[in-house]
Amino acid sequence: MAKTRAYRTQHGVGLSEMVTAKEVEWRRLREFNGQPTGERFYSTHKPGRRLPVKHVMKDGNSFFSYIEGGGGSSSGGESLNHLLFKEALLGLERMRLSLSSFNGQKVDVLIRIRRAEIEKKLEVAGGVRYIDVYIEFMTDHWLASKWGGKVYIEVHHSNAVDAKKQEELRGVDAPVIEVDIPEIFSYKVPEEETTDNLEQQHKARIKRILEGQSGFLRGVVLSDPNSREFLEGVVSSQREMLANLVGERNGLKQKLELSVDRLSDSLEENSRLIGQVGELKELLACKHNELAVAMEKIRRVESEYVVVSNRVKFLTKINFWLICGLSLVLLCFIFLGYLLI
C-alpha cells in the first residue's frame, strides 16, 4: 500500500484522528532530524479493521505503507479520491439532494447543513457499521420532519453498497442514502504526486459546485424511516382530518334530519292541500249545479218577460185606440150640447 493518509488510532474517527504523509514528513524533518516520530499509524480502513502502517520517505516522496508489506505496491484501505470527497462534504454549508428511493419515488430538496461527521457509527442487525458521512440539516421541506433533520451518507466511487450491507441498512431506524462520486469530482492526481495544496483546491472546487445554484448531489435512499415527530404530525393530521370528517358528517346528519322533518311537514301539508282540493272540487260541483239551476230560472224568467212584454205592448195599443175613441165620443157630446143650446 502507498497511501498519503493514515489514522492515529485503531478506532478513531474524524479528521482530527487522521494525518497526511506530508504532515508527518514535515514533523520528521523539523522535529526529529528526518527520523521516525515513534508514533503508530493505521490504514484507512473502517474502525476495528485497520492495519498498522509506517511512514516512508523515499525519493523525495512520502507515504504510508503496511508494516508487513514493507513496500509501496500493496493496495488496500480507502482511496484518496474517496477520502477527499468525504472531507469536501464536511465543509459544505448547503447543498441540493436529488434522491431516488427503492420504491421509485424522487425528491429534490435543498438542505442547510448544521453539523457533519465522518465515519459515524450506526447500529445494524449484523453489529456495527461505520457510515462515511453523517449530516444534521435544516430545510423547509417535509423531509426534515420525516428524517428528524439527519441523514447518513454512504459514498461509493466504483462499486455500489453490497446487497448484504444494503439489507442491513434498510433495516435500521435511521435515514441512509448512497451517493455517487460524479466524474466531475474525481481527483485525477496520483497519490504519490499529491500535495496538501492540490487537495485543498480540489475540495474547494467540490464545495463551490455543490453550493452553487445549479449544483446537486444525486443519491439513492437505502433506509427511509419516519421520525417520531413526523409520525406524531401524521397522527395529529389524521386526527384533525377525522375530526373534520366527523364534524361534516354530523352537519350533514343534522341537515338530513331537518330535510326529513321538512319533507314530513310538506307531506302533511300536501295531504291537507289534497283534502282541500277535494272539498273545493265538491263545492265547485255544487256551485256548478246551483249555477245551472239559476241559469234555467233566468231562461224561464226571460221567456216569461218576453210574453209579458208582448202583452203589455198589445194592451198599450188597445189603450191608445180606446182613449182615442173615448176622446172622440166626448167631443161629439160636447158638440151636440153646444148645438142644443
pLDDT of res. 72: 42
In this predicted structure, the answer to whether residue 333 has a pLDDT above a threshold of 70 is yes
Instruction: Tell whether the model's pLDDT for residue 1 goes beyond 80.
Output: no
Phi, psi at residue 41, to the nearest 5°? -130, 155
- The identity of residue 303, as a single letter, is S
How far is it, in rounded angstroms, from Cα 121 to Cα 2? 27
pLDDT confidence of residue 208: 96
Per-domain residue ranges for the chain?
5-66, 80-226
- 8 Å CB contact between 1 and 43: yes
**DSSP SS3 for 123:** strand
Confidence of residue 165 (pLDDT cuts 50, 70, 90): low
| Whole-structure pTM value | 0.62
Across the range 283-310, mean pLDDT stands at: 88
Q: How many Å apart are CA 255 and CA 164, to the nearest integer?
A: 60
3-state SS assignment for residue 244: helix
Angle at 144 between CA 142 and CA 149, to 5 degrees: 170
Please give the backbone phi and psi of residue 225, each rounded to the nearest 5 degrees, phi first: -80, 170
Q: Measured between alpha carbons, how far is 90 from 115 in angstroms, rounded to an integer?
A: 8
Mean per-residue pLDDT, 300-304: 86
Residue 57 is classified by DSSP as E
pLDDT per residue as tens digits for the range 72-123: 434 567 888 999 999 999 999 999 999 987 567 788 999 999 999 988 888 8
Q: Distance between CA 56 and CA 196 in Å, rounded?
A: 17
The set of cell numbers assigned to 134 is 453523517
Supply the pLDDT for residue 74. 40
> Would you place residue 125 in the very low, low, confident or very high pLDDT band (cuts 50, 70, 90)?
confident
Residues sharing a CB contact under 8 Å with residue 87, sequence separation 6 or more, in sequence order: 15, 118, 203
pLDDT in tens, 4-60: 889 999 888 878 888 988 899 999 999 999 899 999 999 988 888 889 999 999 888
Instruction: Examine the pLDDT at 154 and tell me if it is beyond 80.
Output: yes
The answer to whether 191 touches 61, Cβ cutoff 8 Å, is: no
**All three cell numbers of 102:** 427503492
171: closest CA among 234, 213, 127?
127
What does the pLDDT look like over 126-153, one tens digit per residue? Answer: 778 888 999 999 999 988 988 999 999 9
Q: What is the mean pLDDT of the chain?
A: 85
DSSP 8-state code for residue 193: G
Q: Output the pLDDT for position 58.
A: 86
- Nearest CA-CA partner of 208 in 86, 80, 91, 83: 91
pLDDT per residue as tens digits for the range 183-237: 999 999 988 788 888 999 999 999 999 999 999 999 988 888 775 666 566 666 7
> 103, 126 in Cβ contact below 8 A?
no
Three-class SS state of 290:
helix
